[in-house]
Amino acid sequence: MSERNAKDLQCTTCSPLWKKQGTTYCWSDPQAKPGMPGYCPSQSEAELIEESFRKYTGDDEDARLAKVAAVVEGLCYQPVPGSDAVNARWTRVEDTLALAGLMGWKKIGIASCIGLLDESERLADILRAQGFEPLSVCCKAGSIDKLELGLKEENKVRPGTFEPACNPIAQARMLDAAGAEMNIIVGLCVGHDMLFARHSKAPVTTLVAKDRVTGHNPVAVLYGQNFYYKRLQKQKVLPQGLGEDQITEK
């Protein structure tokens, strides 16, 4: 794979074509290809794409997961008789249940944010009703103060109070040790979700992406850029000059 500059891997530039024609180069009949952007991975990275795709045609766990995921994708939609249109019929929860069932997984781990324990309990109830065995671990398990990370008191949500740190690596290790065959993230913080996914031996999916402002519906920000969130195109999120020395004790 060749070195790329900042202009490479920009599939989002096909958005205008999709809006205009309802298709892109990679979603078209081989005999009716529309134009492609200056850099299109379908052509520029054809060898890498083909090499990766061959991994799905084997008989290992990755290949099986890829095939089952494709089957679930098909089940998510319902054809409209007499039309080429389709209706979405399943929620993300139903997608997750179907995939776990088709994979033959029984023990399902839930990596829960402490702020979403109620939602996690409801998910556990659904999993049990569907014949699965839910296992759950809260992000604050162990109750270790954030100061132990080397943070400053002012970095806490409520300075001057006891505030435990999240421990996503411990969550992953406990669920692995309990035999979880698949893990579901429910509201872990940005960064903590990365650590959990990195250290989990079982496959990981996200059911709830934490967003405290939008009620855990982060895509709402993308729909509101012309009004509510226009500032994200004009203003930096972090204050200028904020660096590690402002976060941790030296």
- Nearest CA-CA partner of 184 in 131, 141, 123, 126: 123
Rounded CA-CA distance 247/151 in Å is 6
Q: Which amino acid does the sequence have at 100?
A: A
Helix (H) or strand (E) holding 98: helix 92-103
What pLDDT sits at residue 211? 95
Q: Note whether 204 and 183 are within 8 A (CB).
A: yes
What pLDDT sits at residue 1? 45
Q: Note whether 90 and 98 are within 8 A (CB).
A: yes
Rounded CA-CA distance 201/180 in Å is 9
One DSSP character per residue, 37-77 reads -SS-HHHHTHHHHHHHHHGGGSSSHHHHHHHHHHHHHHHTE
Q: Note whether 128 and 147 are within 8 A (CB).
A: no
What pLDDT sits at residue 3? 57
- 3-state DSSP assignment of residue 108: strand
Q: Which amino acid does the sequence have at 205?
A: T
Rounded CA-CA distance 184/105 in Å is 13
pTM: 0.87
What pLDDT sits at residue 36? 77
What pLDDT sits at residue 249? 59
Which residues of the chain are modeled with pLDDT < 70?
1-7, 227-228, 239-250
pLDDT in tens, 37-64: 777 888 888 899 999 999 999 999 999 9
Q: Note whether 139 and 171 are within 8 A (CB).
A: yes
